[in-house]
Amino acid sequence: MLRIACSSSWPGLIEACDASMRQVLAAKVQRVQQPGCVSVQSSAKHWPCLLPQHGPGRKHERPIVLADWQRDLVAAHPGDFLRGLFHSDGCRIANRVTMRGRVYVYPRYMFVNESTDIMALCQWSLDLLGIAWRMNRRNSLSVARRAAVAALDRHVGPKS
């Protein structure tokens, strides 16, 4: 079974998750309401074929390596991959900085993940699109330059 927990605050993402499952493999998709979230789920015996990274234990404690065909897909569509990453483990915020008594506010993307493999996939995808990024902590990536944020906006778009 493939089960994806989606925040109830983002009904557009719930719809997109449902539509993607149906488009890729699922004949039937169920939505299970839980406190604060909706689990979008589907039972199909071939989900493990499409998602070979799945396995027991925490994802940051085991290797997350793309199959060759998955790597080719990400290379061909890095913006779509980044959209999924940032919508699941990232955010776009208004960053506030005070310098010499003056307050500056600018948009910034943050991506946080404990898996070094997933972080490396995010970095690789950003590099494929020529989007500048930097690590601000061992598990946190920042996209803050104006042109980089604008480029990421075109690919990620707002949560809805």
DSSP 73-126: HHHH-HHHHHHHHHHHHEEEEEEEEEETTEEEEEEEEEEE-S-HHHHHHHHHHH
Pick from 141, 136, 134: which is nearest to 118 by CA? 141
| Structural domain span for residue 23 | 1-51
Name the CA radius of gyration of the chain, rounded: 17
- Rounded distance, CA 6 to CA 21, Å? 14
Q: What is the pLDDT of residue 91?
A: 93
Q: Is the pTM of this model over 0.95?
A: no
Residues 151 and 122 grouped into a single domain = yes
Residues 88 and 44 grouped into a single domain = no
Q: What is the pLDDT of residue 116?
A: 95
Number of domains making up the chain: 2
Residues 110 and 135 grouped into a single domain = yes
Q: Across the chain, which distance is largest between two alpha carbons, in Å?
A: 60
Residues 1 and 80 grouped into a single domain = no
Residues 155 and 80 grouped into a single domain = yes
Residues 104 and 137 grouped into a single domain = yes
Residues 77 and 131 grouped into a single domain = yes
Residues 89 and 148 grouped into a single domain = yes
* Structural tokens at position 156: 């990620």
Residues 47 and 122 grouped into a single domain = no
- Rounded distance, CA 106 to CA 95, Å? 5
Pick from 58, 61, 77: which is nearest to 124 by CA? 77
DSSP helix/strand/coil, 35: coil
- Rounded distance, CA 159 to CA 154, Å? 13
CA 80, 85, 91, 96 dihedral sign is: negative
Residues 69 and 147 grouped into a single domain = yes
Residues 4 and 21 grouped into a single domain = yes
Q: What is the pLDDT of residue 141?
A: 98
Which CATH number covers residue 121?
Answer: 3.10.28.10
Residues 97 and 132 grouped into a single domain = yes
**Per-residue pLDDT for the chain (160 aa), expressed as one digit of tens each?**
889 999 999 898 899 999 999 998 867 899 999 999 999 999 888 888 888 777 777 777 788 899 999 999 999 999 999 999 999 899 999 999 999 999 999 999 999 999 999 999 999 999 999 999 999 999 999 999 999 999 999 999 877 6
